[in-house]
C-alpha cells in the first residue's frame, strides 16, 4: 500500500511538472520562431529601402546556438516592371538560377499579399510598389530552420534532463513525505497486534473456564466458584483494556480538540494526592508531597487530573512495601515542573526508551495488573497541553517521571 502511495505521489508530481516544463519549452520555441521571423522581415524591409545596395543579415552579426555560429541569412532583391519582367537584380552574393528566380517572382506577383512565404522555394518575401516597378526582397528560410532545429533539440534535451532530475528529487521527497504515514501505519499494525494479543489471553482463559464448567454440570455452583471468579476477573481485565484503548484514542485527539484554560494545578494536584492516600496506605507505601502554591498553566482540568492520576497510580503500583512515593510541583519563570518519584526497582536501561510506547511493559507480565497504555496516555496528554514528559531510573535513586509545562 505504501509503495503504491509513493508511486502515485511521484506520478502526480511528474505529471504536474511535465506539463509546466513542456509549456515553458513550447513557449521558448514559439518566441524564438517569432523573433527570428521578425528579424528576417526587418532585414527584408532594409533591403527594400536600400534597393539591394548593401548586404544584410539577421542580427547584425552571425547568431550562435550552443556556441555554433549559424550561416548568414542573406537578403537580396529584384526590380520587376509592370509586365512582370525582372529588370534589375541586387543579389548581394546570393546565387540563384534564373529559372528558379523567375518562378519565385511570378508567384509573388500573382499574390495580392505584400509579404509571405514560398515554402516550395524555402524563401520568405516582401514586395513594395515604386514608380518604375515593384521591388521584391527575398530571404532564405534555411537559417530559420537551422535555428528552430537547434532550439527544439536543446529544448527537448533540457526538458528530458529536467524531468529526470525532478524524478530523482520526487523520489527522495516522496520517501520523506510517506515516512510519517509509514510510521503511523506501522504503529497501527503494532497496536492491532498488541491489542489482539492482550485480548486473546483472557479470552483463552474464559473459554477454558467455560469448558471446565460445561464438563462438570453435575457439580454445585459453589464447588466451581473458582472458575467463575477467574472468568469474572478476566472479563474485568478485558473491559479495563477496552476502556484504556478508548482513553488512548481520546488522548491522541487532544492535540486538535483540547480547550485549554488558565488552571491552578497546585490545588488540583493536592486533591488527587489526597484521593490516593488510602490506596498508598493499603499497599503500605508512604505517599508524600511537596506542592508549591498557586502554580498556574494553560491546561484542561480533566486531562491534567488524568495525567497526575496515571503517574501517581503507576508509582504506587511499582513501589515495594515500606517504600516512598514523593509528588513534587514547582514553578519557575518559564515553566512548571511536576515530578513523581518512587523507590521501586529501576526500569532496565534497554526498556527506558520504550516505556511511553503503547502496550509496552517493562515487566513483561500482568502481575501488576497493567495494560501497557497508561504512560502512553500520559505522554499524549502532556504533549496536548504543550508539555514534555520524561523518565529517569537507576537502582540508587529509583524512578522519576517529570513533566515540564509552559507557564502563563
Looking at the 3D structure of the chain, how many domains does it have? Answer: 2
Mean pLDDT of 242-269: 73
Please indicate, yes or no, if residue 137 is contained in any of the structural domains: yes
- Rounded CA separation 81/88 (Å): 9
- Rounded CA separation 7/4 (Å): 5
Q: Decide if pLDDT at 67 tops 50.
A: no
- Of the ranges 31-40, 76-85, 217-226, which one carries the lowest mean pLDDT score? 217-226
Please indicate, yes or no, if residue 57 is contained in any of the structural domains: yes
Q: What pLDDT, on the 0 to 100 scale, is given for residue 56?
A: 39
Please identify, among 98, 132, 148, the residue that sits at the C-terminal boundary of a domain: 148
- 76 or 66, which is more confident? 76
Q: pLDDT of 288-322, one tens digit each?
A: 999 999 898 888 888 888 899 889 988 998 898 88
- 66-69, Cβ contacts within 8 angstroms, sequence gap of 24 or more: 66/150, 66/154, 68/150
Please indicate, yes or no, if residue 395 is contained in any of the structural domains: yes
Q: pLDDT of 151-198, one tens digit each?
A: 899 988 988 888 888 888 888 887 777 777 777 677 667 667 666 766
Contact between residue 83 and residue 103 where contact means Cβ atoms under 8 Å apart: no
Q: pLDDT of 334-390, one tens digit each?
A: 789 999 999 878 888 888 888 888 767 665 443 445 567 778 888 888 888 888 999
The boundaries of the domain holding residue 94 are: 2-148
Q: What pLDDT, on the 0 to 100 scale, is given for residue 400?
A: 94
Alpha helices per DSSP H over 259-356: 265-282, 301-317
- HSE-up of residue 6 (Cα within 13 Å, Cβ side): 19
Q: How many other CB atoms sit within 10 Å of the CB of residue 50?
A: 17
Please indicate, yes or no, if residue 52 is contained in any of the structural domains: yes
- The reply to whether 263 and 391 lie within a common domain is yes
- Rounded CA separation 37/22 (Å): 22
- 251 or 222, which is more confident? 222
Contact between residue 311 and residue 326 where contact means Cβ atoms under 8 Å apart: no
Q: Decide if pLDDT at 395 tops 60.
A: yes
Contact between residue 342 and residue 324 where contact means Cβ atoms under 8 Å apart: yes
Q: Decide if pLDDT at 126 tops 60.
A: yes
Please indicate, yes or no, if residue 143 is contained in any of the structural domains: yes
Please identify, among 148, 180, 199, the residue that sits at the C-terminal boundary of a domain: 148
Cell of 239: 473491559
Please identify, among 97, 129, 148, the residue that sits at the C-terminal boundary of a domain: 148
Q: Decide if pLDDT at 287 tops 90.
A: yes
Please indicate, yes or no, if residue 201 is contained in any of the structural domains: no
Please indicate, yes or no, if residue 344 is contained in any of the structural domains: yes
Residue 309: CATH number of its domain: 3.30.565.10
Please indicate, yes or no, if residue 240 is contained in any of the structural domains: no
- Rounded CA separation 133/55 (Å): 22
Per-position b or e across 307-318, b if 16+ CB within 10 A of its CB = bbebbbbbbbbb
Amino acid at each position: 500500500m505504501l509503495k503504491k502511495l509513493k508511486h502515485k505521489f511521484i506520478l502526480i508530481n511528474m505529471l504536474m511538472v511535465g506539463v509546466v516544463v513542456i509549456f515553458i519549452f513550447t513557449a521558448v520555441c514559439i518566441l524564438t520562431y517569432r523573433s527570428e521571423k521578425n528579424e528576417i522581415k526587418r532585414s527584408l524591409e532594409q533591403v527594400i529601402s536600400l534597393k539591394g545596395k548593401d548586404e544584410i543579415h539577421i542580427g547584425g552579426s552571425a547568431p550562435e546556438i550552443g556556441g555554433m555560429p549559424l550561416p548568414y541569412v542573406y537578403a537580396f532583391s529584384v526590380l520587376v516592371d509592370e509586365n512582370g519582367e525582372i529588370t534589375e537584380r541586387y543579389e548581394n552574393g546570393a546565387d540563384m538560377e534564373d529559372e528558379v528566380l523567375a518562378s519565385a517572382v511570378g508567384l509573388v506577383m500573382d499574390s495580392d499579399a505584400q509579404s509571405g512565404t514560398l515554402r516550395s522555394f524555402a524563401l520568405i518575401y516582401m514586395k513594395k510598389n515604386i514608380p518604375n516597378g515593384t521591388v521584391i526582397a527575398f530571404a532564405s528560410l534555411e537559417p530559420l530552420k537551422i535555428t528552430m532545429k537547434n532550439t527544439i533539440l536543446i529544448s527537448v534535451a533540457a526538458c528530458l534532463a529536467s524531468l529526470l532530475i525532478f524524478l530523482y528529487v520526487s523520489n527522495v521527497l516522496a520517501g520523506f513525505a510517506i515516512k510519517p504515514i509509514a510510521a503511523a501505519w506501522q504503529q497501527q499494525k503494532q497496536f492491532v497486534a498488541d491489542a489482539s494479543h492482550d485480548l486473546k489471553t483472557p479470552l483463552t482463559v474464559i473459554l477454558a473456564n467455560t469448558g471446565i464448567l460445561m464438563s462438570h454440570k453435575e457439580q454445585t455452583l459453589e464447588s466451581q466458584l473458582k472458575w467463575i471468579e477467574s472468568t469474572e476477573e478476566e472479563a474485568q481485565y478485558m473491559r479495563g483494556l477496552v476502556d484504556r484503548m478508548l482513553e488512548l484514542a481520546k488522548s491522541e485527539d487532544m492535540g486538535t480538540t483540547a480547550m485549554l484554560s488558565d488552571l491552578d494545578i497546585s490545588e488540583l494536584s493536592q486533591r488527587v494526592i489526597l484521593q490516593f492516600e488510602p490506596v498508598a496506605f493499603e499497599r503500605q507505601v508512604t505517599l508524600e508531597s511537596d506542592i508549591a502554591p498557586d502554580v498556574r498553566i494553560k491546561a484542561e482540568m480533566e486531562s491534567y487530573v488524568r495525567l497526575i492520576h496515571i503517574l501517581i497510580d503507576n508509582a504506587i503500583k511499582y513501589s515495594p512495601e515500606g517504600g516512598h512515593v514523593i509528588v513534587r510541583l514547582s514553578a519557575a519563570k518559564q515553566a512548571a515542573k511536576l515530578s513523581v518519584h518512587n523507590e521501586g526497582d529501576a526500569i532496565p536501561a534497554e526498556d527506558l526508551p520504550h516505556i511511553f510506547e503503547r502496550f509496552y511493559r517493562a515487566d513483561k507480565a500482568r502481575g501488576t495488573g497493567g495494560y501497557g497504555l497508561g504512560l502512553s496516555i500520559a505522554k499524549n496528554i502532556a504533549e496536548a497541553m504543550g508539555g514534555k514528559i520524561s523518565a529517569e531510573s537507576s537502582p540508587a535513586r529509583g524512578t522519576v517521571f517529570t513533566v515540564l509545562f509552559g507557564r502563563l
